[in-house]
């Protein structure tokens, strides 16, 4: 059985570009220089709120109002998403539709809290593709710890070593790799490093590249699967709680 676990922010949804705008807007209000925003953001990509606060304290000092800054940025992000809609990454509908038609088991594993993940996927029209959804509030140890990917595989009823993961961040790739999944990286804010090239089975420019790779390398791929009904917008199960390829980027 083909199984794939996706990250959300920066992989399926282009929310990290929205986050960048919010940080640049809110940063000066909290004493963050414009030149410092990008380095801070890069260190926080793929982290949950607690990890981001730790990073901000480490970089800006214990007196920095990290909680207030992150709250202000989060509110700005939500304002933009409500105003302009959820931005979907190129290739996301195509790869999810293709995998769903193959009968693949699909999960979503995000550091974002589960309720927010479900809301954003629903607003983007992608929620119904997933058989299992887990957010950062349902784990004890966040990425790069493998816990979230192990739980995602458990929720799908599949073995990690037989499952693909699609990630964009360093911590996400580390998490999936440590859990034993075959990890595919689609860089967003962060460029791939030598470590990422070692950990990832493939690095791709976009999700179309991932789709092509799975079509060529997945164990099952039925080209006559177009008659399978597409999802109706609802999750279909409960939500219980050869480094072979690198495309030119």
Q: What is 139-182 written as a DSSP string? A: -SS-TTSTHHHHHHHHHHT--GGGEEEEE-SHHHHHHHHHHT-E
Same domain, 75 and 179: no
pLDDT category of residue 48 using cuts at 50, 70 and 90? confident
Same domain for 98 and 213: yes
Question: What is the pTM assigned to this prediction?
Answer: 0.83
More confident residue, 1 or 56: 56
User: Are residues 104 and 180 located together in one domain of the fold?
Assistant: yes
Residue ending a domain, among 59, 84, 109, is 84
Residue 234 has pLDDT above 90, yes or no: no
- Would you please indicate which residues are annotated as catalytic (active-site) residues? 7
The pLDDT tens digits for 90-129 are 999 999 999 999 999 999 999 999 999 999 999 999 999 9
> Confidence class of residue 82 from pLDDT cuts 50, 70 and 90?
confident
> Do 210 and 104 reside in the same domain of the chain?
yes
Same domain, 134 and 151: yes
- Please, which residues bridge with residue 165 across strands? 5, 183
Q: Which residue has the higher pLDDT, 125 or 15?
A: 125
Of 49, 84, 119, the domain-final residue: 84
Candidates 31, 52, 32; CA nearest to 42 is 52
Q: Clarify whether residues 71 and 143 are in a common domain.
A: no
CA 140 to each of CA 108, 124, 136, 144, 157: distance values in angstroms, whole numbers, following the listed order: 17, 28, 8, 12, 21
Same domain for 68 and 105, yes or no, is no
Stretch (H or E) spanning 51: helix 49-60
In the 8-state DSSP scheme, what is residue 246? Answer: E
For the chain, what is the mean pLDDT?
A: 89
Answer yes or no: do 20 and 119 share one domain.
no
Same domain, 69 and 97: no
Q: Which domain holds residue 22?
A: 15-84
pLDDT at 219: 65
Let me know whether 10 and 119 are in one domain.
Answer: yes
In DSSP terms, 9 is beta-bridged to 13
Q: Which of 53, 84, 115 is the last residue of a domain?
A: 84
Same domain, 240 and 167: yes
**Number of domains forming the structure of the chain:** 2
pLDDT at 242 over 60: no
At 245, the pLDDT band (50, 70, 90 cuts) reads very low
Least confident range of 43-52, 93-102, 212-221: 212-221
Question: What is the structure's pLDDT at 248?
Answer: 43
The CATH number linked to 117 is 3.40.50.1000
Q: Is the domain of 227 the same as that of 114?
A: yes
Confidence band of 236 (pLDDT split at 50, 70, 90):
very low
pLDDT at 240 over 50: no
Q: What percent of the chain has pLDDT over 70?
A: 88
């Amino acid at each position: 059985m083909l199984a794939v676990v996706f990250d959300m922010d920066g992989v399926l949804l282009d929310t990290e570009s929205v986050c960048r705008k919010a940080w640049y807007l809110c940063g000066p209000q909290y004493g963050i220089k414009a030149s410092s925003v990008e380095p801070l953001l890069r260190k926080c990509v793929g982290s949950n709120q607690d990890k981001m606060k730790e990073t901000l304290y480490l970089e800006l000092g214990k007196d920095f109002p990290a909680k207030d800054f992150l709250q202000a940025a989060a509110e700005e992000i939500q304002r933009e998403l409500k105003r302009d809609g959820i931005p979907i990454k190129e290739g996301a509908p195509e790869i999810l539709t293709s995998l769903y038609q193959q009968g693949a088991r699909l999960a979503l594993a995000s550091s974002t809290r589960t309720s927010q993940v479900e809301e954003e996927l629903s607003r983007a029209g992608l929620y119904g593709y997933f058989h299992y959804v887990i957010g950062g509030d349902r784990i004890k140890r966040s990425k790069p710890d493998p816990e979230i990917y192990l739980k995602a595989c458990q929720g799908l009823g599949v073995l990690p070593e037989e499952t693909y993961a699609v990630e964009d961040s360093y911590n996400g790739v580390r998490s999936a790799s440590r859990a034993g999944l075959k990890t595919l990286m689609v860089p967003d804010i962060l460029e791939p490093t030598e470590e990422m090239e070692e950990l990832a089975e493939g690095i791709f420019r976009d999700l179309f590249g991932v789709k092509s790779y799975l079509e060529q390398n997945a164990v099952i791929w039925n080209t006559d699967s177009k008659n399978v009904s597409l999802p109706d917008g609802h999750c279909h199960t409960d939500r219980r709680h050869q480094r072979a390829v690198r495309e030119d980027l």
